[in-house]
Structure 1
C-alpha cells in the first residue's frame, strides 16, 4: 500500500501545529525542536516559514486574534465594543498561553491583531471620541480584556485542584494571623463558598463602557 504523502510544509501548517502544542502543553513546551517533531521534519526546515522563535510566538498569537469575529456592523459603538471584547476574552481563555503574549505587545504584532486594534480605534473615532479621550478609552479597554484573561488563566491553571479558586481561597484562610484583616477574610470566605460565581470581566466591562459613554457625553457638551 502506498504511503500517503504528508501535506506540504507551509506557514499556516507550522502555526497551526504550534498552536496545538501550546494549547496542549503550554508555551514552555513549544520549541523549534518540539514543533519539528510534531510535524515530522527537522527543526531547521521550520526557519523557512518562521525566521525565529519570536516570530513563531507572534504568529500563533495572531491566529487567536483571527478567531475573533467582527461585530454586527449595525450595532452602535458601545454594543459593538462589548461584543468584540467579550469574544476576544473568550478566545484568550480558549488559548490560555495567549494573554501573556498579547500583554507583551512586541514589535512582532501580526496583521490580525493590528486589524483588531485598528477596528477598536475606528469604532471610538466614529463615535466621536476626541483624541485624548480616545487614547484613554482604547488603553483602558485593552488592559481590561488582557489583564483579566491573564489573571483568570493564572487561577484556572494552578496544579493543586480541579476548582483552583475555591482551593486557593481555602488555603489562604488557613494562614495564621488573619484576624487583623476581617474584611479581607470575609471576602475570601465568600469566594470559597461561591466558586462558580459569575466572572467580574463582564461586570467591569459594562462599567468601563458606561463610564466612557458618560465621558463622551461630557466631551460633546464642552464643544
Structure 2
C-alpha cells in the first residue's frame, strides 16, 4: 500500500510554473522578499529544490515571474474600474488616471516587497506594458500630444505604478526586506539618531524630521512613502500636466 503523501507536497505532474510563482508571491507576502530563495520556495512547495528548475530557470527568472503575477493583479484591479464612456469630456482624463494609479497602489500595498522587485527588473512584463499603454490612452483622450505624454511618463516615474522612489532610505529599510518590519524600523531609527547627532551641521533636516512624522504604517511602501505623501506628489504632477494640456489646445 502506498503511504499517504506528506502534507504540503504535490505530485510532480501537478507542479506548474503558475503554481510555483503563486507560491513565491505567498512566501514573499508572509516572510518578506529576503526570505524568497529557491531553497525556501522548494520547502514551501514540499519538493526538492532541483525540481524548481523545470519551471524557473534561476532566481532572476523567478523574480521576473513574480513581477508578472503582481502586474497581472494590477491589470485585473484596473479592469474592474468603471470605464470612461465614449462621450466623456476631455477633462475626465485626470480623475480616471488618478483612479487607475491608486488602483495599482492598492495591489502594491498587498505586496509591499513588489516595488523593490519592479525597480530591479531589466525587462518589462507584458502586463506592465499594457498597463502603461492604458495610461497613455487616458492622456491622449485628454488632448495630450505624444510629446506631452512622454514628458508626463518621465515626471510620474514609479508613481505611475503606484509607488514613489525614496530620496533617502536607510539600509535595510526597503519595503519587504523583513517579515515583521522590525529591521526596517530599526534602520530608520538608526538613521534618525545619526542625523540628530549631526544637528549642528544639518539644522534644517533635523528640524524637518522633528516636525514631520510618518505614522501611516499600513499604507507605506518605503521609508517616507505613506499614502498622504504619495497622493500629494501624484496630485502635484497631475495638476501641472492639466495646465500644460490646456496650453496645447488651439
CA distance in 1, matches of 2:184, 2:114: 22
In structure 2, C-alpha distance between the alignment counterparts of 1:84 and 1:111, rounded to whole Å: 17
- Displacement over 6 Å in runs of 4+: none
Aligned to 1:213: 242
Unaligned stretches of 5+ in structure 2? 217-225
Equivalent of residue 96 in structure 1, options 112, 117, 121: 112
Q: 2:42 matched to 1:36? A: yes
Per-residue deviation, 1:3: 3.4
Q: How does 1:1-223 map to 2 (within 5 A)?
A: 3=4, 6=10, 8-68=14-74, 69-70=77-78, 71-74=81-84, 76-107=92-123, 109-145=124-160, 148-151=163-166, 154=174, 157=181, 159=183, 161=185, 167=189, 171-172=193-194, 174-176=196-198, 178-192=199-213, 195-196=215-216, 199-221=228-250
Q: Tell whether the 8 Å contact from 2:29 to 2:111 is kept in structure 1 after alignment.
A: yes
**Structure 1 residue 207, shift from structure 2 partner:** 0.8
| Deviation at residue 218 of structure 1 after TM alignment | 0.9
Q: For the structure 1 residues 110 and 172, does the alpha-carbon distance in structure 2 shift closer, same or farther, using more than 3 Å as the test? A: same
Q: CA RMSD in A?
A: 3.1
**8 A Cα contact 2:144 2:245, kept in partner:** yes
Larger RCO (CA within 8 A; separation ≥ 6): 2
**Offset, 1:123:** 1.7
Residue 125 of structure 1: CA displacement? 2.3
Distance 1:30 1:56 in 2: 10
Total equivalences in the alignment:
216
Once the two structures are overlaid, the 10-residue window that deviates more, 42-51 or 95-104, is 42-51
TM-score by length of 2: 0.73
Which runs of 5 or more residues in structure 1 are unaligned? none
What is the rounded CA distance, in whole Å, between the counterparts of 1:43 and 1:132 in structure 2?
A: 49
Residues 125-179 of structure 1 show CA distances to partners (whole Å, capped at 9, x for unaligned) of 23221121111112322333569445486379462748x86x4685255314x23
